[in-house]
Chains A and B, each alone.
Chain A
Amino acid sequence: MNVLIDKFDVFAGGFWLTLQICLLAAIGALLLGAIVAVLRISPVPPLRALGTSYVNIFRNMPLTVVMFFAAFGLPALGSNADFLRIPVLDSLFSRLGTDLPYFRFALIALVLYTAAFVCEALRSGVNAVPAGQAEAARSLGLTFGQNLRYVVLPQSWQASVVPLGSVIIAMIKNSALAGFFGIVGDLSATADQLTGAEGYAFVPVAIGISVGYLIMTVPLGTLLDRIEKRQAVAR
C-alpha cells in the first residue's frame, strides 16, 4: 500500500486533471443540453426534429465511439479543436491551451455525449410541470421564450435536479474512458502508469484511484439527497 503515499503526487495530479475535465465537461454539457432541450420542446417542427436527432444519435452511441470520432475524426477534418483555447479559461485549466489537443478532444466527446442525457433530464422536468401552467402563461400573452423563462423552467428545475445530478455523476465516471485512450494523464490513466510502467501491484493502485473518483461523486450524491429532502419539505 506504500504506493498510495509514495506516489501521492501522481494520484493527486491525475485527480486534478480528472476534476478539470469534469468541471469543464459539466458546464459544457449543461449549456449544450439546455439548448438541445429547448429545441426539442420548441413549437417549430424543424427545430424539434433537430433536437430529437441529436438526442437519438448521442444517447445511443457508445461513448468510446464518440471519443474515437473526436480523437481521430477531428484531426482528419483538420481541426485541433483550437476554438477551446478560450483566453481566461485556458489559464485556469492549462490543458485547454496546450499544443497536444487530446484533452480538448476528450472534453468535446464528453460534452457531446452527456448533453443528450442532460437534455432528457431537463425535458422530463419540463414534462412534470402541469400543462395548465404553460397554457395560463400563453393566455396572458407571454411568448414561448418568456413562458419557458418565467413559468415553466423555474418549476421544472425542481423535478430536473435529481436526474440531472445522476447524469453528472455518470459523466464523472465516464470521464475515466478518456484515460484509456492513453492520451490525457487523468486519474484512470494513473493506473496504467503506475502498474505498467513502474511495476506497482494493481490492487492498491486501483483502490487509490477508486477513492479519487469517490471523492468527486459521493459528495455530489449527498448534495442531491439534501436537495431532494428540502424539496419534499417545501411541498
Chain B
Amino acid sequence: MDDVTTGEPLIVLDAVNKWFGPLHVLDDVSLSVGRGEVVVVIGPSGSGKSTLCRAINRLEPINSGTITFDGQPLPAEGKPLAKLRSEVGMVFQSFNLFAHKTILENVTLGPIKVRKEKPAAARERGLALLDRVGIANQADKFPAQLSGGQQQRVAIARALAMQPKAMLFDEPTSALDPEMVGEVLDVMTSLASDGMTMVVVTHEMGFARHAANRVIFMADGQLVEDAPPAEFFANPRSERARDFLSKILTH
C-alpha cells in the first residue's frame, strides 16, 4: 500500500477555518490527499471530522482558507460547483437514498440527468455496479425495503456511477446494525485496493489499520496527528490521541 501517490495531490486544504457561531469547528486545518490515497479521519465526536469531510465538496462552506480539488479551487456556487460535486462521490451516515425511486433509479439518476448518459447505457452500468456491491437482484425494490447495510452499499454504487475522482465517506457504518458493518467495509476495502482516492471518517479502527494509507486524528477542530496507521496505532505522538485510543481500544 506504499507509493500509491503520484503527481500533484488531488485534494488540498490550506489553513481552513470554519465556525458554527462561536464554535471553532475547523481550526487552521491543512491537509493534502494524493491520488489513489486512502485517508482515514478519526477523533472524538465534535472534533470536526465530519465537517472536514463535508467541506471538501462544499456541503459545508468554509470561513477562511482554501480548498482545491484536482488543481482547481472549489467554486462558490452554481453550475461549476455542481460539476465539481459530480466528480466527488459522497456516502452519508444515514444513506440518503432517494426514497421515491427504485434502487436502480437511485444509481442511474446522476448519470442520466447530470452526465446526460443514455438511459439504456446508464441502466446497464448501474446494474453492473449493483452487481459489484452485491445487490443486483434488488434493483427494482425501493430503499425502504432494504436493510441498512444493503442501502449503504447502494449509496456507494450510486456515488460510483458518477465515475468520481474521489470518494468521501462520512461515518458510513455508524448507523448500521453491527452484523451489517462488515459487508459495507468489504465494499470499501475493495474500492481502496482498486486505487480509488478516499477520505473516510469512521470509528472502525480495523478498517483504518488495514485499508488506510494515512490516519488523521482530529480533536477540537484541529488536525492533531497525520501518520501511517501502523505508526499511529503503535505509537501515537500526542497525549490526546493516546487518550482517545486508550478509550476505544480497551473494550
Contacts and interface: CB of A to CB of B under 8 A. Distances in A.
Interface of A: 43, 130, 132-133, 135-143, 146, 150-151, 154-155
A24 B90 CA distance: 45
Interface residues of B, number: 29
A151 B78 CA distance: 18
A231 B86 CA distance: 33
B99 A141 contact: no
Contacts of B87: 141
A143 B99 contact: no
B92 A135 contact: yes
B96 A136 contact: yes
Interface string B187-216: 000000000000000000000000000000
Nearest to A137: B98
A105 B182 CA distance: 66
A63 B100 CA distance: 38
A155 B96 CA distance: 13
B94 interface: yes
10 contacts: A133-B96, A136-B158, A138-B82, A139-B88, A141-B162, A143-B78, A150-B109, A151-B109, A154-B100, A155-B100
B85 A139 contact: yes
B57 interface: yes
Contacts of A138: 59, 82, 85
Contact of A140 (B77, B79, B109): B109
A139 B109 contact: no
B98 A133 contact: yes
Given A141-B87, A143-B78, 15 more contacts: A133-B99, A135-B59, A135-B96, A136-B90, A136-B155, A139-B88, A139-B90, A139-B159, A140-B85, A140-B114, A141-B83, A141-B85, A142-B110, A146-B114, A150-B113
A140 B162 contact: yes
B100 A141 contact: no
- Consensus secondary structure, chain B interface: mixed
B52 interface: no
A43 B159 CA distance: 24
A72 to B, nearest CB: 44
Contacts of B40: none
B97 interface: yes
B114 to A, nearest CB: 4
A146 to B, nearest CB: 5
Contacts of B59: 135, 138-139
Contacts of A139: 57, 59, 85, 88-90, 159
Contact of B98 (A136, A141, A146): A136
Nearest to B83: A141
Nearest to A158: B100
A140 B155 CA distance: 11
B2 to A, nearest CB: 31
A63 to B, nearest CB: 36
Most buried by B among A130, A138, A155: A138
Contacts of B98: 133, 136-137, 151
A132 B92 contact: yes
Contacts of B84: 141
A142 B98 CA distance: 13
B230 to A, nearest CB: 32
Contacts of A133: 96, 98-99
A95 B110 CA distance: 47
Nearest to B79: A143
Contacts of B158: 136, 140
A154 B98 CA distance: 10
A142 B82 contact: yes
A139 B84 CA distance: 9
Closest 4 CB pairs of A and B: A141-B86, A136-B96, A132-B96, A139-B90
B172 to A, nearest CB: 13
